[in-house]
Structure 1
């Protein structure tokens, strides 16, 4: 592993409210993959241990073989994040193998439906059309249990990113490397496959992207800043991308609660060399009007809390919401790193959740460690 301080721009004067981190080609050998399914993988541990001391919580994550997607939020925003769902789609061999495909996390952020889609699409120069087909297949296959946004394209704002594998056509190796050395990247843009495909694919035209004003991120010799020096001499390309799509305003609610986005930065980070790709970073400012300003539930500890007696909590719903037999209340230590880091939890009976002035009592028994 490595220090991710620079990658996450932790020394910036203003810290982000959210971090969304997508990785591809995470090692997924059978033994490691089974271990990662039972426990958090090393990359998740690295990001959690780095961000938790700064007040961030891992709200959700999803893993499909080598694809990993992590969503972190500052603690203050967590009560206003709802409707969290995650899913995946395989596009590998016969749509069965998960070495290629997409993983997504969708959620409501202060009432605005957001979706984050991390993809690893088909490789090689000649498969540009197949990459678009895979993207459309992922959009068609991923559905959510939601009336407001049952599909990816129904979300108010979508971020689409990952190793999309689009290459630079026509130009020879010498010209491409010359443009890189002279930082005349604009001479390569017209032959970037994603840029070319956007001209003839209406769906792709709905997605925006910042200028590719950084050197291509693929393909490097490991542990170096040297482009492929092997016998294959693969041509550099912007395979790693971040795009976004704002859904057109379709309802009075969109007018009443506007959402705007501005990209502040789009660049690659050349100092990381543990992969044959260089990571790409994008920072965005979201300007939104909150659809709600209070959390769903008010919690109040009752009496003195001690490790040797049951803990009692009083809670009261502040807003109407669809309750479920899956509702639960968790107890967390101060400084917890993830939503799954609860010490203990208790189920909430479905008929206990109602919007009234009544305080509802929940007793949680804290498991004690055994001496050894």
Structure 2
């Protein structure tokens, strides 16, 4: 209706202009004007541009995704150095998404007891300090301002924890909205929180993101991978992000409804390989040969779970399980242990996967912190976001005759004031 009214006003304007030309020009010019179709219906003036035109452009963001099983240990001040290495601030990202497992010991009192938010608060304080107060790093960046980050989402379920931080410049430049959290417990009896996931959903401009941190069933016996597959399917089935308002009804409620999805954590997939053979390949650093026996790679290839998902090439040593009594040695070492350590075949338990178009992985690495029996893992991504902008009521003025742009040509001041629906209304839309 609005476009129809605009066209009607424009047609009246053209007729008014034609009549004024007839009154002020010689007869030999009137014939030319009457035959010129561009004056009758606008011709070179684009009425198409008056319509609502939604334009979509793309920008890129750098997203850091990290996962770390901290073995029930609380954050301490000496952890600053380990976080610096893990977060890799020299390759600064726009978004930091950090997932933890076992931020509390997985014992009866913590699994079935009330949630204690202080542990998550302590981790968030340490993360914020590391991201925003690395003075030495910022002094190295010539001519740049100190880059600060703000936490936009945080969620804890027993020992599974997620913390999402955005650079202040990103919050100022883009519209970040509809931030929601969800948790799914699928541990003991299928519903306790010793295993499961926490997730964050958000909208950045016109692109939806979902970040899922999971801690899946442990064990390296035959058939244990089936329990992990089942928990993955349960998380997909039971995850539902709540609607915030009716305005956001079109925003995704499920994991797979999002445009860009990142799934990471202690997924606990092991190796189809005997312990001594696995250690032999590790000593040779033959990661390609070792990956041929990786359970998760097999599931990805055969479509058992995560069908269509991607993982970067693994070019680092297995991240689990390190001895708590030595600095950098896998526990067990293939021999019975006097200290009571359980025999564990080393494996890539800590993983990062993604799903969706417009995502490029820049690196996939592990860090060397000896804080727990797992090594932290991180990946840096470059991803596209859609920027939607709309133009309404714009006119292409380049082809409008100059006489239409000058109100004093053939029109007195009084006539201009008495005719507000013609040129003045048309120009008001520009």
Q: What is the TM-score of this pair, normalised by structure 1? A: 0.70
Q: Does 1:244 align with 2:358?
A: no
Q: Is the 8 A contact 1:111 1:292 kept in 2?
A: no
Moved more, 45-54 or 205-214: 45-54
- 1:48 aligns to what? 128
Give the 5 Å matches for 1:124-203.
124-125=219-220, 126=222, 127-144=224-241, 145=243, 146-169=249-272, 171-201=273-303, 203=305
**Secondary structure of the residue that 1:290 maps to in structure 2?**
strand
Shift of 1:96: 2.5
Q: For residues 123 and 307 of structure 2, what CA distance do their matches in structure 1 show? A: 33
Query: After the TM superposition, which parts of structure 1 deviate over 3 Å for at least 4 consecutive aligned residues?
Result: 28-36
Q: Is the 8 A contact 2:207 2:386 kept in 1?
A: no
Q: Does 1:63 align with 2:165?
A: no
Q: Is the 8 A contact 1:217 1:278 kept in 2?
A: yes
Greater share of strand:
1
Q: For residues 211 and 200 of structure 2, what CA distance do their matches in structure 1 show? A: 5
Q: Is the 8 A contact 1:260 1:286 kept in 2?
A: yes
Moved more, 191-200 or 128-137: 191-200
Q: Is the 8 A contact 1:51 1:57 kept in 2?
A: no
**Secondary structure of the residue that 2:153 maps to in structure 1?**
strand
Shift of 1:279: 0.4
Q: Is the 8 A contact 1:221 1:227 kept in 2?
A: yes
- 1:111 aligns to what? 206
Q: Does 1:232 align with 2:342?
A: yes
Shift of 1:189: 1.0
2:360 corresponds to which of 236, 259, 262: 262
Describe the shift of the 1:156–1:187 C-alpha distance in structure 2 as closer, same or farther (beyond 3 A). Answer: same
Shift of 1:95: 2.5
2:165 corresponds to which of 72, 81, 99: 72
Describe the shift of the 1:45–1:236 C-alpha distance in structure 2 as closer, same or farther (beyond 3 A). Answer: same
Q: Is the 8 A contact 2:179 2:200 kept in 1?
A: yes
Give the 5 Å matches for 1:270-281.
270=368, 272-281=369-378
Shift of 1:219: 0.2
Shift of 1:38: 6.0
- 1:213 aligns to what? 315
Which one has more relative contact order, counting CA pairs under 8 Å at least 6 apart?
2
**Secondary structure of the residue that 1:188 maps to in structure 2?**
helix
Q: For residues 31 and 261 of structure 1, what CA distance do their matches in structure 2 show? A: 37
Shift of 1:59: 0.6
Q: Is the 8 A contact 2:152 2:165 kept in 1?
A: yes
Greater share of helix:
2
**Secondary structure of the residue that 1:102 maps to in structure 2?**
strand
Deviations 1:279-336 (A, max 9, x none): 001011113332359xxxxxxxxxxxxxxxxxxxxxxxxxxxxxxxxxxxxxxxxxxx
Q: For residues 189 and 183 of structure 2, what CA distance do their matches in structure 1 show? A: 15
Q: For residues 201 and 39 of structure 1, what CA distance do their matches in structure 2 show? A: 37
Give the 5 Å matches for 1:321-332.
none
Q: Is the 8 A contact 1:112 1:291 kept in 2?
A: no
Shift of 1:198: 2.1
Q: Name the Cα RMSD after superposition.
A: 2.2
Describe the shift of the 1:38–1:217 C-alpha distance in structure 2 as closer, same or farther (beyond 3 A). Answer: closer
Structure 2 unpaired stretches of 5+: 1-75, 134-146, 244-248, 391-430
Q: Is the 8 A contact 1:163 1:240 kept in 2?
A: yes
Answer with 1 or 2: which has the greater Rg: 2
Q: For residues 292 and 119 of structure 1, what CA distance do their matches in structure 2 show? A: 36
Shift of 1:46: 0.6
Q: Count residues in correspondence.
A: 277
Q: For residues 184 and 274 of structure 2, what CA distance do their matches in structure 1 show? A: 35
